[in-house]
Structure 1
Amino acid sequence: MHRSGGTLFSQLLDGHSGIQAHPHELFIGKPQKWNWPKLAKLLNSPEPLFESLQEDKIAAIGRQGVFIKPGSNLEAGKQDVSFTYSLTEHRQRFVELYSKAPVKTQRFAIQIYFHTFFASWPEHHSSGHERYMSCFLPHLILHSDSLQRLFADFPDVMLVSLLRRPDSWIASLVNHISLSLADTETVQKHLERWRFSVKAILSLHRNPATYSFTTTYEALVSDPRVELQRFCALAGLPFEPIMLTPTVGGCPVLPNSSYSRAEHGVNQASLRPQQPMPTSVQQILQEVYLPVYVQAVTQLGMDPLDLDLAS
C-alpha cells in the first residue's frame, strides 16, 4: 500500500551487495503499474515487446539527469543525485539480447528487460554477487489477477509487505494528495481501502505457499537494524550496515515524505501524525481502524504494546 514505507524499504535494500535494486516504483505494468504484464502475443517481436515494458517515468528522470522522487518533501526535490539512465541504450541492448534468446517466455523477457535496464543505468555498479532484484510495486497485492500472473512468471518471488498505523497513514496520505482531513466521508473511503490492504497482507502472511516478509512501518522506522536483519535472515543474505541508510545507486537520498525532511537516514518523526486530527476522524480511527491495526499486528506475531498505541 502506498504511503506505508515501500519507497523507504526499497532504498534501504539499494546498497546491499546481494541485491540489484530498481531505483523507483516499477512501471512495466500497463495501463496501471499494478497490472502485471501480459506479453504472450509479443514474445516473438522484440521491439514491440520492449515498448510494452518500457518505463516512461524512469526515462523522463533519466533525461533530466538527476534522480527525483521527493513526494511532498521540498528538500528532496533539491538534491543532486546523478541519474543518467538511457531509454535508447536500454532498447538497443534489450532487442539485441532478446533476439538471440533460444527460448522466449514471459519470465525470460522480463528478466532480459531488467538485466539490460541495469546495464543502461551508468550510476548502477554491480557487485557481481547479486542474488535478488528488488522493486517497489504498490497496490499489487490488492489485485488478485495481477498477483497470480506474477506468481506464474516468478513462483520463487519474495513479497515484502509493510503495514502502517491508520492514523499516521491517513495523515501522510491527505498531505500527499492535498485532501482535507475535514472531509470525513472521503477520508473514511481511503481508510476502507487501507483496511482492504490489511486483509490482503494478512492473507499473504498466512499462506504457506507464498514466500513473504511482513513487518510494520512503525517497526521498520523505530529499529531498522532489527527488521532488516529479519529480512536478511529470511532471504539468506548477510546483513550489511549500508542498509541503514536509504540510497539510490549507492548515493544517500532524502526521504520520499509527505513532510519536509532535510536529513538523510531513517526519520522517526513520521511515526506520528504531523497535524491535528478532527474529532470526527479521531473517533472513527479509535473505534474502527486502530483496533484493526492492533489485531493485525498481533496476528503478525508482534506485540502492539511495543508500538505505543495508547499515545
Structure 2
Amino acid sequence: MIYQFIKKLDAKNKIGKRIISRLITEEKRIKLERYLKDGPRRKMIRQVSDAGTSHLEDILQICLQHISPVTAPLSLVSQISCSGGLLLGRLLDGHSKLHAYPHAFSVDAPDKSSWPTIDIKGKPEEWLNIFSKSIPATGIREGFKQGEEDNARFPFIYLPILERQLFIKYLESVQPLNMRQIFDAHMTACFGAWLNYQNHGLDKKFVTAYAPGLTLQNQDLNNFFEIYPDGRLISIIRDPVHWFASVSRREPQIYGDIESALGHWKKSVRGIMEAREKFGDRVCIIQFESLIDRTESV
C-alpha cells in the first residue's frame, strides 16, 4: 500500500513524514494506522464473510487462532450519577493507548454497584456467568448508545458464543490461575468477541471502564486494588448546585428531594476522599468544572 511505502521512507530519511503531513490530516493518519495494525485479523474475517454465505464456525476459528490478550491494568471511573462520568468516558474512548470497556462494568449481583465476587475454586462457567452481565443483550440487539439523551446508536457486533470460547481458551493458557488472570480472561474475551472493535493493539496502558457506585463500597475498593495493585480509580466531583439541577431531572424518583439528594452527594464525596487518603496517587480526583473548562490539561 502507498501509505505503508511512505512509512518506510519515513523510517529512512523523514521524507515520508513530510509527504504524509501534506496528504493526510493527523486525525485521519492515526485512524489509518490503527486500521492497518489490526489488518491481518480483519482481512481473514472479510475473506470468510465475502464468500456469500454465513460461516460462523470459520469466523470463530479465525478469532480463536488470533487471540489478542488484554492484560493491561484496569482504570475505573466511579462517582455518583450525573457527575461527568459519561463525558469522561467519551474522551477516553478511542485513545490509542487505552481499551475502553463498551458498557458499565456491572456484575450479576443483587447490588449492581458491587465488585464481582469470584471464587478461585469455582468453575470457569460460573465466573463467565458473573462477568457476562456486563454486556447486556439489549446492547447487542439494538446497538451501542453513548448516553441517555443521545438517541444515536452505533453497530455493536458482539458474539457471546465467541466470548465464552475465548474466555475458556485464555484460562487454559495461563495455568496455574490467580485472580488477576481470571479478570484478564474476561477482558480478553470481551474485546475479542467484539468483532467491530477498532482499537486493538498490545501497547495499551490501561483498560478504562465506568463502575457506578463503587466509591460507596469500601470493601469493593479493597478487592479492586487487591486484584489490580497497578490499577487506578478516577472520580469526578461536581458542584452540588449544578449537580442537583441535572440529576433531579434525570432521576427524579431517587434524587427529586433536595435534602435526600444532597445526602447522597455528600456520602459520595466522603467515599472519594477516603479512597484518596487510603490509596494515595492511585486515586485521581477531577473537578467537573475543570473537565469542561480545561479539558486538555486535565
> Normalising to structure 1: TM-score of the pair?
0.65
Identity value in percent:
23
| Superposition deviation, residue 175 in structure 1 | 1.0
Gaps of 5+ in 1: 228-311
Superposed CA offset, 1:195-248 (max 9, x none):
111112222333464512111111101221111xxxxxxxxxxxxxxxxxxxxx
* Aligned equivalent of 1:3, options 77, 82, 86: 82
**Aligned match of 2:268:** 197
Superposed CA offset, 1:141-180 (max 9, x none):
1110111111111111111010001111111111112349
1:143 pairs with 2:143: no
Instruction: Tell me the SS of whatever aligns to 1:213.
Output: strand
| Superposition deviation, residue 29 in structure 1 | 5.6
Larger radius of gyration: 2
* Aligned equivalent of 1:60, options 126, 138, 158: 138
| Superposition deviation, residue 42 in structure 1 | 4.9
* Aligned equivalent of 2:102, options 18, 23, 31: 23
Do the aligned partners of residues 108 and 187 (structure 1) sit closer, same or farther apart at CA in structure 2, a change above 3 Å counting? same
**Aligned match of 1:37:** 116
1:169 pairs with 2:240: no
- Cα distance in 2 for residues equivalent to 1:175 and 1:82: 29
**Aligned match of 1:90:** 163
Structure 1: which amino acid aligns with 2:224? L
- Cα distance in 1 for residues equivalent to 2:254 and 2:104: 26
The answer to whether the Cα contact below 8 Å between 1:90 and 1:117 also exists between their aligned partners in 2 is yes
Do the aligned partners of residues 206 and 151 (structure 1) sit closer, same or farther apart at CA in structure 2, a change above 3 Å counting? same
**Aligned match of 1:219:** 290
Higher helix share: 2
Gaps of 5+ in 2: 1-79
**Aligned match of 1:233:** none
The answer to whether the Cα contact below 8 Å between 1:59 and 1:86 also exists between their aligned partners in 2 is no
RMSD over equivalenced CA pairs, Å = 2.1
**Aligned match of 1:245:** none
| Superposition deviation, residue 91 in structure 1 | 1.2
**Aligned match of 1:128:** 202
- Cα distance in 1 for residues equivalent to 2:170 and 2:279: 37
Instruction: Tell me the SS of whatever aligns to 2:271.
Output: helix
Do the aligned partners of residues 39 and 110 (structure 1) sit closer, same or farther apart at CA in structure 2, a change above 3 Å counting? same
**Aligned match of 1:188:** 259
- Cα distance in 2 for residues equivalent to 1:83 and 1:163: 31
The answer to whether the Cα contact below 8 Å between 1:36 and 1:149 also exists between their aligned partners in 2 is yes
- Cα distance in 2 for residues equivalent to 1:59 and 1:35: 20
- Cα distance in 2 for residues equivalent to 1:224 and 1:30: 35
| Superposition deviation, residue 101 in structure 1 | 2.8
Instruction: Tell me the SS of whatever aligns to 1:133.
Output: strand
Structure 2: which amino acid aligns with 1:16? H
* Aligned equivalent of 1:70, options 147, 156, 160: 147
| Superposition deviation, residue 41 in structure 1 | 5.1
Query: How many residues in Structure 1 have an aligned counterpart in Structure 2?
Result: 218
**Aligned match of 1:276:** none
Single out whichever of 119-128 and 158-167 deviates more from structure 2: 119-128
